[in-house]
Structure 1
Amino acid sequence: MLSIQALREQRAAKAKAINDHATKKDWNPAVDQPVWDAMMAEHDALSAQIKNIETSLALTAELIQNETVAGRAEQLAHDRNSPGLAMFAKWLRGGVSALTIEECTTIRNTLSTSTGSQGGFTVQTSVAKQLLDALKAFGGMRAVAEVFQTEQGNDISFPTSDGTSEVGELIGQNTTATGLDPTFAALTLSVYKYSSKVVAVPFELIQDSQIDVEAFVRSRLVTRLGRITNTHFTVGTGTGQPNGVITAAGVGVTAGAGTSQVTAITYGSLIDLVHSVDPAYRALNNCRFMMHDQSVKVIRKIVDGQQRPIFAPGYETGNPGGAPDRLLGYPIQVNQDVAQMAANAKSIAFGDFSFYKIRDVMDVTLFRFDDSAYAKLGQVGFLAWMRSGGNFIDVGGSVKLFVNAAT
């Protein structure tokens, strides 16, 4: 059986061959399309093998970790007659749904007890930059937006002025020039407080477990923060939460009714979408497509006017994870928070996403609670906080959207 590295090298070589074949001169659909289809099938088979191995390794590691922690918790719960450990073991194996109403109430009451009369919290804090690094790879938005940090969380105002419709004038001699003052506005970039939600761990498990329970919990907290922030940076409403890029961007192309684009898109609409973004933005060489992975599957079936496939798999060897797939020469950024193709869905975005600004206030902070309500029950609490915000700081239309047909 080939190693996963050997499979990745084979896939990279196959992807390069596909790109070379698709860009050959004198494309003959009757001859070249079947060859392209066969090579894509081989490429997909290699990708499937790689994904299966990666998934198997990840699931095995998580299963071993979960079972080791849960098994140790159950053993300690039995040996020490600890209801808290028993509940923690049940939560690890089945989540909140595995707990009874009484157990959920007990946990909720425990985690909400923070009154001064009970001693307050003696909190040890650590600034964990590795959490922020993990978030950069989560979801898609942090990979393409401009991300920066500030020490304070007060609102930042970005002055704007749209002069794209302003033109000069041609006048005759001794004629007074017409007045036209530019107009100004401002876009605000606020930050919001995000919580990973608390995880309470019995301290017997931390002391006696053979694995790093704290690292296990920290990984869960990272995932929780990554999921909610990417959702808000993508489709946030802008009211009490970040303004998502899909919410803020203008529509470039709306498919007409009866055009079979309710759950699909045509080659012509893709061309129209690219050209709905002003050439000045396209000249920055930073434009790309953003869509759900299911939309990528639809895109792969589209051909141009010469019946040549317009989708090209990434193949750069040495690029961690491989180069991004490309569409019409532009990279594709997969973002699972973008809507899948459906009636009236804003399913594809195109443009320069660096005009979306993500602002982090300092670093993600991991809190460990060792006293007060937790100590009374023999527990240690873990909680990650972050303050972050995002907004589309652009008035010229650097990103435009494709909207599927209504019917």
Structure 2
Amino acid sequence: MAINQTERAPENKGGELADAFGTFMTSFESFKQANDERLAQLETRSGADVLTTEKVDRISRALDEQKRALDALTMKGLRPGLGGAGAVQPDEHKEAFEAYMRSGDDRQIRALDAKAMSYGSGQDGGYLVPAQTEAEVSKRLADLSPIRSIAAVRQVSAAVLKKPFAVGGPAVGWVAETAARPQTNTPTLAELQFPTMELYAMPAATSALLEDSVVDLDQWIASEVDAAFAAQEGAAFVNGDGTNKPRGLLNYDQVAESAWEWGKVGYIASGAAGAFPASNPSDKLIDLVYALKAGYRQNSSWVMNRKTQALIRKFKDADGNYLWAPPAVAGQRATMLGFPLVEAEDMPDVAANSASIAFGDFSRGYLVVDRTGVRVLRDPYSAKPYVLFYTTKRVGGGVQDFDAIKLMKFAAS
């Protein structure tokens, strides 16, 4: 991830984003017309015309590409600039960090860093970035990391977050105003643990970039590492095994919703191995929505990858309305059955026994744990003439409420 002095992120013009969104909406209208034609052919013939089916698939792929380009333009608008014009005046920590980044002079920052994020010394484990840089990294990760954007996020200063919970729920009861209060049963408590694991990225800079006083280096670090961090986080929050990484939501035991119990994630079967049923496939999605208790549905989201979304985009309800709806404005999410849809490319493709769709209130169901601080270690030796910046943060995660997330498993039962 090397960058030189002449590279700059181009300005994102509002007209460019508006044009891309307009093209996307036009393509969606074309998709609906072609798919309506395909469905009409299915009703009047033994099968849809091959050319019509190919047209639908072609427009669907174009929609995916246009949505990807639209998302990229939106992210580009959020990307911090590298220029220093109009920047907040640097504080003492930022000045010390700047000196360390540009020349390797760590005398000032060594004096300021009373507490490093590793168990070793600061100079061995790197130095904490300024608070502004850490906030910028966290903000960008919330925009880029799909699960983080909808999950609960907790910052801790310890290596492990321990969260107690009552197995049988709180002990409560009704009582008259003046009646004696009978003693309640002692609640049974258990504990969930969320250890934080080290996540790293290693952007590289040229000497010319480091010598350019106009370039804000802590913003450059934030812009370079956030995409790398987001990609690693996204994979771990979905499929992580909990060993040196967070535990993903699909790593827990999965059971049919009728046999659900705490500690396991419930699922609804699609009714066919590796597919939706041939008739009324949208009914299964409705079943998945109502597998969730009412208290969780209000803030729920769909989570799936683009291929699964492209499959569902063709579905209609009993009244002939498409289940999938495009975002109302650029920068917002598409919706399905009225609930926002989050694209997570690490969710599995539809296949036999795959859990390719998740639905639930992720702000209550999944917890992301950030250990405070981002650390940078300057390395001018390993990749000369480039200077490497070994950047690390500690992140954990896992399911905290097993009743808040449900899955669709593509199986007969």
The aligned residue for residue 8 of structure 2 is none
The aligned residue for residue 322 of structure 2 is 309
The aligned residue for residue 295 of structure 1 is 308
Give 1:308 deviation, angstroms: 2.9
Quick check: 2:274–2:350 contact (8 Å CA) kept in 1? Answer: no
The aligned residue for residue 228 of structure 1 is 232
Give 1:333 deviation, angstroms: 0.8
Give the Cα separation in 2 of the matches to 1:167 and 1:57: 49
Please tell me the residue identity of whatever aligns with 1:253: I
Give the Cα separation in 2 of the matches to 1:152 and 1:260: 44
Give 1:44 deviation, angstroms: 8.9
Give 1:140 deviation, angstroms: 0.3
Question: Does residue 1:275 correspond to 2:258, yes or no?
Answer: no
Give 1:254 deviation, angstroms: 1.8
Quick check: 2:164–2:189 contact (8 Å CA) kept in 1? Answer: no
Please tell me the residue identity of whatever aligns with 1:232: A
Please tell me the residue identity of whatever aligns with 2:230: G
Question: Does residue 1:398 correspond to 2:399, yes or no?
Answer: no
User: Are the structure 2 counterparts of residues 57 and 307 from structure 1 closer, same or farther at C-alpha, using a change threshold of 3 Å?
Assistant: closer
Structure 2 residues not aligned, in runs of 5+: 1-13, 34-38, 44-52, 77-81, 83-120, 174-181, 253-263
Give 1:361 deviation, angstroms: 1.1
Question: Does residue 1:362 correspond to 2:376, yes or no?
Answer: no
Which secondary structure does the structure 2 equivalent of 1:245 belong to?
coil
Give 1:264 deviation, angstroms: 12
Moved >6 Å (runs of 4+): 12-18, 40-47, 53-59, 208-217, 262-265
Please tell me the residue identity of whatever aligns with 1:238: G
Give 1:13 deviation, angstroms: 7.5
Any residues of structure 2 matched to 1:367-382 within 5 Å, and which?
Answer: 367-369=377-379, 380-382=387-389
User: Are the structure 2 counterparts of residues 157 and 15 from structure 1 closer, same or farther at C-alpha, using a change threshold of 3 Å?
Assistant: same
The aligned residue for residue 351 of structure 1 is 360
Give the Cα separation in 2 of the matches to 1:159 and 1:403: 28
Comparing 345-354 and 231-240, the one that deviates more: 231-240
Query: How many equivalent residue pairs?
Result: 315
Any residues of structure 2 matched to 1:8-87 within 5 Å, and which?
Answer: 8=20, 10=22
Please tell me the residue identity of whatever aligns with 1:4: E
Which secondary structure does the structure 1 equivalent of 2:394 belong to?
strand
Please tell me the residue identity of whatever aligns with 2:198: K
Which secondary structure does the structure 2 equivalent of 1:142 belong to?
coil
User: Are the structure 2 counterparts of residues 289 and 124 from structure 1 closer, same or farther at C-alpha, using a change threshold of 3 Å?
Assistant: closer
The aligned residue for residue 166 of structure 2 is 160
Give the Cα separation in 2 of the matches to 1:264 and 1:224: 42
Match of 1:183 among 151, 164, 188: 188
Give the Cα separation in 2 of the matches to 1:329 and 1:57: 23
Give 1:212 deviation, angstroms: 8.2
Give the Cα separation in 2 of the matches to 1:350 and 1:56: 27
Quick check: 1:262–1:344 contact (8 Å CA) kept in 2? Answer: no
Give 1:286 deviation, angstroms: 0.3
Please tell me the residue identity of whatever aligns with 1:126: V
Give 1:209 deviation, angstroms: 12
Structure 1 residues not aligned, in runs of 5+: 22-28, 60-64, 66-115, 169-176
Comparing 349-358 and 253-262, the one that deviates more: 253-262
The aligned residue for residue 111 of structure 2 is none
User: Are the structure 2 counterparts of residues 182 and 149 from structure 1 closer, same or farther at C-alpha, using a change threshold of 3 Å?
Assistant: closer
The aligned residue for residue 93 of structure 1 is none
Which secondary structure does the structure 1 equivalent of 2:307 belong to?
helix
Give the Cα separation in 1 of the matches to 2:363 and 2:277: 29
Comparing 123-132 and 2-11, the one that deviates more: 2-11
Please tell me the residue identity of whatever aligns with 2:337: L
Give the Cα separation in 2 of the matches to 1:158 and 1:51: 41
Please tell me the residue identity of whatever aligns with 1:366: V
Question: Does residue 1:385 correspond to 2:392, yes or no?
Answer: yes
Give the Cα separation in 1 of the matches to 2:199 and 2:230: 10
Give 1:239 deviation, angstroms: 3.7
Tell me the C-alpha RMSD between the 2 structures: 4.9
The aligned residue for residue 147 of structure 2 is 141
User: Are the structure 2 counterparts of residues 44 and 11 from structure 1 closer, same or farther at C-alpha, using a change threshold of 3 Å?
Assistant: farther
Comparing 233-242 and 9-18, the one that deviates more: 9-18
Give the Cα separation in 2 of the matches to 1:10 and 1:354: 32
Question: Does residue 1:243 correspond to 2:261, yes or no?
Answer: no
Question: Does residue 1:193 correspond to 2:204, yes or no?
Answer: no
Quick check: 2:127–2:376 contact (8 Å CA) kept in 1? Answer: no
Quick check: 1:252–1:277 contact (8 Å CA) kept in 2? Answer: no
Quick check: 1:267–1:304 contact (8 Å CA) kept in 2? Answer: yes
- Which is higher, the Rg of structure 1 or of structure 2? 1
Identity %: 25
Quick check: 2:376–2:392 contact (8 Å CA) kept in 1? Answer: yes
User: Are the structure 2 counterparts of residues 349 and 210 from structure 1 closer, same or farther at C-alpha, using a change threshold of 3 Å?
Assistant: same
Quick check: 1:7–1:50 contact (8 Å CA) kept in 2? Answer: no
Please tell me the residue identity of whatever aligns with 1:186: E
Comparing 122-131 and 380-389, the one that deviates more: 122-131
User: Are the structure 2 counterparts of residues 295 and 162 from structure 1 closer, same or farther at C-alpha, using a change threshold of 3 Å?
Assistant: farther
1:355-374 CA distances to partner (integer Å, 9 max, x unpaired)? 2111111132333346xx56
Which secondary structure does the structure 2 equivalent of 1:141 belong to?
coil
Quick check: 2:161–2:369 contact (8 Å CA) kept in 1? Answer: no
Match of 2:281 among 238, 241, 266: 266
Quick check: 1:288–1:333 contact (8 Å CA) kept in 2? Answer: yes
User: Are the structure 2 counterparts of residues 293 and 51 from structure 1 closer, same or farther at C-alpha, using a change threshold of 3 Å?
Assistant: closer
The aligned residue for residue 113 of structure 1 is none
Give 1:380 deviation, angstroms: 3.1
The aligned residue for residue 337 of structure 2 is 328
Give the Cα separation in 2 of the matches to 1:55 and 1:256: 36
Task: Judging by fraction of residues, say which structure has more helix.
Answer: 1
Give the Cα separation in 1 of the matches to 2:204 and 2:58: 47
Give 1:276 deviation, angstroms: 1.2
Give 1:149 deviation, angstroms: 1.4
Give 1:381 deviation, angstroms: 2.9
